[in-house]
Structure 1
């Protein structure tokens, strides 16, 4: 995604904006930070809940399978937090070195990875909770249904919007 030229007043093909690559990187960074704030808050609340579960009296009653699901869920939650907090660290360590466009690219990749990990964390959390709540195979089917809904909301709907936009741009 490059602009038509490097003149400060050039019109960017991809955004329809008059901005330099640096201005575009600044704008994209600001947008990414807003997205990360939403995701990070949810992850931190979920992760805090997961950390507290092990100290509840009923934790001792969990089956070996449920304990394994719990451990996987906590590890996924940790990986999710790392991926979604990673862009902030990345930016802080390279700031002032004229790497903003590259920083935005890598931060975007970490954010998408964080969303995939969040999907896995949410499904694993749901599986654990529903196994304890319903005590049967219905839990797995409920999680599969919810995973499909997450996939649709987070990835399929945006992909469809991109495909539609591309078709309209070709006309």
Structure 2
């Protein structure tokens, strides 16, 4: 459903006002959700910056020349995913700067939330590929693959399955 905002048609619906728990307007909710998102991004950005920094300097190490073609492919994949993760996790800050003062914070929060979710998914992929690369260098390929699969399962559990379960389990009953 399109609505009129500041002279522009907007097809993005405003965030609904929550009628249970907090009593807040759509704008107050957007302000709170934006502050929450920024706190979450601070944690994720630190992790992605450390991981991406490690990946950027790895290419300049003498042992890098000894990597197999498969390991070089893993390295390039990890670097590209790391760059994409960084972009997605910093993107909400850029979005906020561009749209600040336009009275579209609820829509900006929704877009920034999507960027953050995408960035976290890419960070999980970056972490997984980086671990596989490191473990392939340190261990036998089969063991490296099993340990990496275990980590990937762990990340899926704590970053996706557990939050989805909590959202469903603790959602208010209508």
TM over 0.5: yes
Number of matched pairs: 160
Deviation per residue, 1:45-91 (Å, 9 max, x gap): 11000000000000000001100100000000000000000000000
Say whether residues 1:87 and 2:92 are aligned partners: yes
Equivalent residue, structure 2, for 1:36: 41
Equivalents in 1 of 2:170, 2:70: separation in Å? Answer: 45
Equivalents in 1 of 2:147, 2:140: separation in Å? Answer: 12
Greater share of residues in helix: 1
Equivalents in 2 of 1:156, 1:64: separation in Å? Answer: 34
Equivalents in 2 of 1:115, 1:44: separation in Å? Answer: 13
- Please report how far the alpha carbon of residue 135 of structure 1 lies from its aligned counterpart in structure 2 after TM superposition: 2.9
- Please report how far the alpha carbon of residue 2 of structure 1 lies from its aligned counterpart in structure 2 after TM superposition: 1.4
Deviation per residue, 1:2-59 (Å, 9 max, x gap): 12xxxxxxxx325x21211111100000000000000001100110000000000000
Equivalent residue, structure 2, for 1:111: 116
Equivalents in 2 of 1:120, 1:104: separation in Å? Answer: 24
Equivalents in 2 of 1:2, 1:164: separation in Å? Answer: 21
Equivalents in 1 of 2:16, 2:47: separation in Å? Answer: 33
When the two chains are superposed, the root-mean-square deviation of aligned CA atoms in Å is 1.1
Equivalents in 2 of 1:94, 1:136: separation in Å? Answer: 48
- Please report how far the alpha carbon of residue 136 of structure 1 lies from its aligned counterpart in structure 2 after TM superposition: 2.3
Deviation per residue, 1:136-156 (Å, 9 max, x gap): 211111111110000000111
- 1:23-62 equivalences in 2 (<5 Å): 23-62=28-67
RCO comparison, higher one (Cα < 8 Å, 6+): 2
Partner SS state of residue 18, structure 1: coil
Equivalents in 2 of 1:67, 1:29: separation in Å? Answer: 39
Say whether residues 1:2 and 2:6 are aligned partners: no
Structure 1 unaligned segments of length 5 or more: list them: 4-11
